[in-house]
Structure 1
Amino acid sequence: METDKDCIFCKIVAGDIPAEKVYEDEKVLGFKDLNPVAPFHALLIPKEHIATLRDLHPEHDGMMGGLMRAASEVAVKAGLDEGHRVVGNCLKAAGQEVYHIHLHVIGGRQLKWPPG
């Protein structure tokens, strides 16, 4: 599994930086966002370092499916019965700040459309 020694998310996967975990399996880790934009805000990341959504290849299909399934499980476990949003930003103009693929699971309040 590829990692990046300078990536904050890879350091969380390795256990070098603590995080409040909300989900974990063999390929995916979920944890609470340190700067939440809603009452519930978690990040889901693949344990493998992949910088952006544009860096995905066919061999990542199963992992990405697992990431989306995990997002649903996290939302149900968090009690987001009225709904939730799953967001994946790609590159700077879209708001990607950490270059390690991650999905935001956001809920617990009425979310507006279109976003930001």
Structure 2
Amino acid sequence: MTDCIFCKIVAGDIPARKVYEDDDVLVFHDIKPAADVHLLLIPKVHVESLAHCDDGHAQVLSRLMLLAPKLAAEHGLEKGFKTAINTGVGGGQEVFHLHVHVYGNR
């Protein structure tokens, strides 16, 4: 997806403050944080939203969810954190590449 900002971050065309990366997932700090800690967890493959996922995305979705508490703890959110997946325009999604917000310490 050539016009997707998150795809450009995955490709290295746009810099990001990365905190984790593997073959399937990239995690970086949100540029407009809603809290002291605000991470974005994204699949490297372009998927428009959670509504566009199917059984073939089960592994990457699992990876995102299992990384969330681990990375939250590593960033000082041992007492708790919030997660959010905005889906579609009506759900507040602004960047149309699936992403999980992990944030805390307002």
Same fold (TM over 0.5): yes
Q: Which of 49, 59, 76 is the aligned partner of 2:46?
A: 49
Q: Which of 1, 6, 10 is the aligned partner of 2:7?
A: 10
Identical-residue share of aligned pairs (%): 49
5+ long unaligned stretches in structure 1: 110-116
Q: Structure 1 residue 36 and structure 2 residue 33: aligned?
A: yes
Shift of 1:22: 1.2
5+ long unaligned stretches in structure 2: none
Q: Secondary structure at the match of 2:20?
A: strand
Alignment of 1:26-105 (within 5 A): 26-105=23-102
Runs of at least 4 residues of structure 1 off by over 6 A? Answer: none
Instruction: State which structure, 1 or 2, has the greater radius of gyration over its C-alpha atoms.
Output: 1
Q: How many residues align?
A: 106
* Aligned partner letter, 1:78: H
**Comparing both chains, which one has the higher relative contact order based on Cα–Cα distances under 8 Å and sequence gaps of 6 or more?**
2
Shift of 1:84: 0.2
Shift of 1:51: 0.2
Say whether the 8 Å CA contact 1:23–1:70 is kept in structure 2: no
Shift of 1:42: 0.8
CA RMSD, Structure 1 to Structure 2 (Å)? 0.7
Partner of residue 104, structure 2? 107
Shift of 1:79: 1.3
